[in-house]
Amino acid sequence: MFTALYCEGLPMTALFALATCLMWGLSDFGGGLLTRRFPALTVVVISQSITVAVLGAVVLATGAFGEAGPRLWYAIGAGLVGPTAMLAFYRALALGPMGVVSSLGALGVVVPVSVALLLGEPPGILQFAGIAVAIAGVGLAGGPELCGAPVQRQTVLFTLFAAFGFGAVMALISEASTTVTGLFLALFVQRVTNIVVGGVALWLSARRGHPALPAEGGGPRMLVAALPALAFVGLSDVAANGTYALAAQHGPATIAAVLASLYPVVTALAARGLLKERLRAVQAAGAGLALVGTLLLATG
């Protein structure tokens, strides 16, 4: 596989996709930590608001508004799907081990690969094998408690929902623009849509009695102190979306998808190194199988 990356002029695809892998992995780790202190909706809305401010300045500076066109509907679609997927993923990260959640989250690569198949790329035996291995990994990653503990089932369901949402965002954002300046505008439109959807959900949640900030520990002061971390999470995520789109534009979407989908390794390493998180053997085996299945599916 890696030999193929440098055939037919594909090193830029590999570079952008690996950058995506790093930034998504770190963003997921930071988002998972923040949702253990704040409601997931609050993390989503505030982190995305920061990215809109930065992207708005970039769009104005580059004159990207001139790139407006029908492709922006893909960006709006990504913006509608993204907050729901992100909310589910952050919820899963708050409930379960990051190593398991992030590995299962990589299964979202099935969406862009499926799009490629629908556009005429025939499935191979490795892709069928990848599906089987990934399903086995999902079953094992929850551990023995999956059948008896509601929290474990809930964590896996949240993660799978988020995974396919993220896959849809990957497929949509790669179609949203064909130029770099157009990509800035597409990402801006996507994030504005994120804020609208997330803001409405946050307002409805508050109306139902769920506060946007924790009551204990001085919620507003905690939020101000967490702004740098929220900015890092939001900007890393939007930058990863951008580098993934560039990777897909420079070469085959399957190559971009497989390298970008390795981001759970970054999240798991960060959780292991900073949180000393340990997975039980069956969970580690399941997470590993999910990643192997993802690789087989994307490279087949």
Q: Evaluate whether residue 3 is within a structural domain.
A: no
Q: At what angle do helices 98-105 and 150-173 cross, to 10 degrees?
A: 40
Distances (CA, A) of 54 to 59, 61, 66, 223: 9, 11, 18, 19
Tens digit of pLDDT for each residue in 192-248?
998 998 888 888 888 887 776 665 655 678 888 889 999 999 999 889 988 888 887
Q: Evaluate whether residue 5 is within a structural domain.
A: no
Domain count, the chain: 1
Q: Evaluate whether residue 261 is within a structural domain.
A: yes
How far, in Å, CA of 245 to CA of 183, rounded?
8
Tens digit of pLDDT for each residue in 53-96?
999 998 888 887 777 788 889 989 988 998 888 888 888 877 77
**How confident is the model over 145-150, as a mean pLDDT?**
45
Q: Evaluate whether residue 1 is within a structural domain.
A: no
- CA nearest neighbour of 240 among 221, 256, 253: 256
192 touches 82 (CB < 8 A): no
110 touches 167 (CB < 8 A): yes
Q: Which amino acid is at 295?
A: L
The rounded mean pLDDT for the chain is 77
- CA nearest neighbour of 202 among 194, 241, 228, 151: 194
pLDDT of residue 220: 76
- Domain span at residue 113? 11-299
Residue 213: burial class (beta carbons within 10 Å; 0-12, 13-18, 19+): middle
Q: Terminal CA-to-CA distance of the chain, rounded, Å?
A: 10
How far, in Å, CA of 261 to CA of 34, rounded?
22
Residue with tokens 């798991």, as numbered in its chain: 268
Q: Evaluate whether residue 288 is within a structural domain.
A: yes
Q: Higher-confidence residue: 299 or 101?
A: 101
Q: Evaluate whether residue 184 is within a structural domain.
A: yes
Q: Which two tokens stand for residue 79?
A: 């913006």
Q: Evaluate whether residue 2 is within a structural domain.
A: no
Phi, psi of 159 (to 5 degrees): -65, -45
155 touches 142 (CB < 8 A): yes
Q: Evaluate whether residue 4 is within a structural domain.
A: no
Q: Is 292 left (phi over 0), alpha (psi -120 to 50) or beta?
A: alpha
Show the DSSP H helices in 251-280 as ranges: 253-260, 263-275
Residue with tokens 């990504």, as numbered in its chain: 78
Query: How far is residue 80 CA from its own chain's centroid?
Result: 14
Question: Which segment, 45-54, 122-131, 179-188, 279-288, is predicted with the most confidence on average?
Answer: 45-54
Tens digit of pLDDT for each residue in 232-264?
999 998 899 888 888 877 777 766 777 777 777
**Quick one: DSSP state of residue 215?**
S
Quick check: 50 pLDDT over 90?
A: yes
Q: What angle do CA 106, 88, 191 make, to 5 degrees?
A: 85
The 3-state DSSP class for residue 208 equals coil
